[in-house]
Amino acid sequence: MAPKATKRGKAPKATATPKDPKATATSAPDLLTKSKEAYEQELKDLAKKARTQKGYWAGQLAIYVHSGILLLLIAIASNVSQLVLSPVYGSIPASIWHSKLVMAGCFTGWASNIMLDRALPLEPQELLPLIAIYIPPVQYLLFRASGYLGATYGPLITEFLTIFPLITISSACVATNLEYADFGPLPKFIAEGVPGLGSFGFFKLTERMSGRLLGKHIGENFYMTRIGLEGLLAASYTTIAPSKFLLFGLPALLHTTLLNPHLASPMALSWLNSGLEKEGWKVLDRQDSITGYVSVVESLNDGFRVLRCDHSLLGGEWVKFKDTGRFKGNQVAEPIYGVFAMLEAVRLVEVPNPVPDNEAKALVIGLGIGTTPAALVAHGVNTTVVEIDPVVHKFASKYFQLPSNHTAVIEDAVSYTDRLVNETEGAGQFDYIIHDVFTGGAEPVALFTYEFLQNLNSLLKPNGVVAINYAGDFSLPPPLLITNTIRSVFGPSSCRIFREHPRDEAQAEKHNGRDFTNMVIFCTKSAAGITFRNPTERDLLNSPSREAFLLPKWEVTEEDLLRGVNGSLVEAEKLGVLRKNETERLEKWQEGSALGHWEIMRTVLPEVVWVNW
């Protein structure tokens, strides 16, 4: 609990001037006759004597502990705020203004602690529990205006009205506390800078460490969910900064526990679905996980089901066709996105010595709903799936037609392929490699680096084929950078690139030149080039989607790729390749790509689905 002796939350009396009458300062008339040096020496003597008083160091410890806890709490709150915003805006749009807003809150609170203390009719720290309690309902209301606010300024406005006041008041309280901290023999000019710099350094350190811990353990239990963490923060503030005004937080507390659909409880999900079903939608399951908020959403009117991760979709399939008409007995489901069927064309690439399906081995990097692995298994291919998120695998197995007869590796693909390549017989294991990780502005950059692609090349057999799916905006450089990197590994004449849909000039003009689409890059180790055989009836698996999309049609031209660098060959050459120690080169463009992806996603599913999780 906070050390509290005065209105400004100052340190206990133990930190003040000792009560010994003999130790009191010299009278005013005498001070006038003393030299500056003598006066400063007397103050030092008084401070030294104060340190010998009973309870002095306990008071000092209380100052540091209380200040440290306040800084730790805002560090955690900073990370939790980003977690809560990501399902509505996506992780990248949510982060655009975040660090600037956090720094502004720290500076504002630190610089205005005296002014806040005088202006407010109560202790500033008594506001902290109320602010923390009201954050979830304020977010709930603002999320409903996200379509109007947009992905650029929506997160800024939301955090300005939620996390910014919390950081500002907390920083002011820390600044006030540390006015009474004893920094011992440190020179004055150093002691004056230690509180501010030390506090900010401690905050940034705990922000980074808590972020890693949250990312590792999110979703493990109720308290490690997004709203659960906000509840824990509110409870912590109530303990560390008790307030006599807590009763005013009761409406917010009731709203969060009874009416907030984001709460991870069966009652909240039931209440959510009662409203969504009127709009023709239903959430079948949901869970916070290490890659984001994951849920299974079904369209009751149109009869399809999608797997959602934050503000994007990992895949979807038609459920209304299952076991009906011509689809009765099908081994695979009908995907709602043609690009997933196109990835299966690795089997159609003509190679010198084709391998029968029952002897072939495939490695799939990234699971989604399991469309491609399911098809490979249906053809009899021995299939290994590498998926970092256990919840994605669980939901794909439970709610989508992912067969159980595959090898699942729940691990980061970088570490897995590194280990596989370094094994004695690790090289040349797979006939097919499908690289289909979560993209759409938030791609795991490490999986598109030269070094990772070299691993895939090593794991591919001499006659093997790799297919890499990348969702990007052709009006920006990333598609060209990714293509350059892939071609540098497999050879420019060994790769061909295809789009999911042909370029739509009208749509591009409507979206300020943006041309966001999925592209699939097919590569082999052979310099002979890539050609596809015509698919047979067996290849199509009795699937209309595969009839339409299995054989790639819309090839990406050099002109398409150069559009991201304004058609400049010089700039294309300068772009080079992406290496693992240069991932910031791709990350700097993710912001624009993610904002474009956000707009597209808002047309794929209605706003009511996105904002209600």
Residues of the chain with CATH 3.40.50.150: 331-611
- All CATH 1.20.1250 domain ranges of the chain, comma separated, are 54-258
Q: Is the pLDDT of residue 32 over 90?
A: no
Beta strand ranges found along 226-291 (DSSP E): 281-289
3-state secondary structure (DSSP) of residue 394 = helix
**The CATH number of domain 54-258 is 1.10.1740:** no
Measured over the CA atoms of residue 275, residue 279, residue 282 and residue 283, the dihedral's sign is negative
pLDDT for residue 30 is more than 70: no
Give the whole-angstrom CA distance, residue 567 versus residue 537: 41
Sequence-ordered alpha helix ranges (H) in 90-112:
91-95, 98-111
4, pLDDT greater than 90: no
b (16+ CB within 10 A) / e for 329-351: ebebbbbbbbbbbbbbbbbbbeb
Instruction: Compute the distance between CA of residue 120 and CA of residue 130 in angstroms, rounded to an integer.
Output: 15
Q: pLDDT digit string (tens) for 213-241? A: 999 999 999 999 999 999 999 999 999 99
**Closest among 299, 298, 293 to 312, alpha carbons compared:** 293
Q: Alpha-carbon dihedral of residues 438, 440, 443, 448, nearest 10 degrees?
A: 100
Does domain 331-611 fall under CATH 3.55.10.10? My reply is: no
Stated pTM of the model:
0.87
Banded model confidence at residue 528, pLDDT cuts 50, 70, 90:
confident
Average pLDDT for 584-594:
84
Burial class (CB in 10 A: 0-12, 13-18, 19+), 601: buried
pLDDT of residue 587: 82
In tens, the pLDDT along 449-471 reads 999 999 999 999 999 999 999 98
pLDDT above 90 (res 360): yes
The tens digit of pLDDT for each residue in 75-132 reads 999 999 999 999 999 999 999 999 999 999 999 999 998 888 888 888 899 999 999 9
Lowest mean pLDDT among 11-20, 332-341, 517-526, 588-597: 11-20
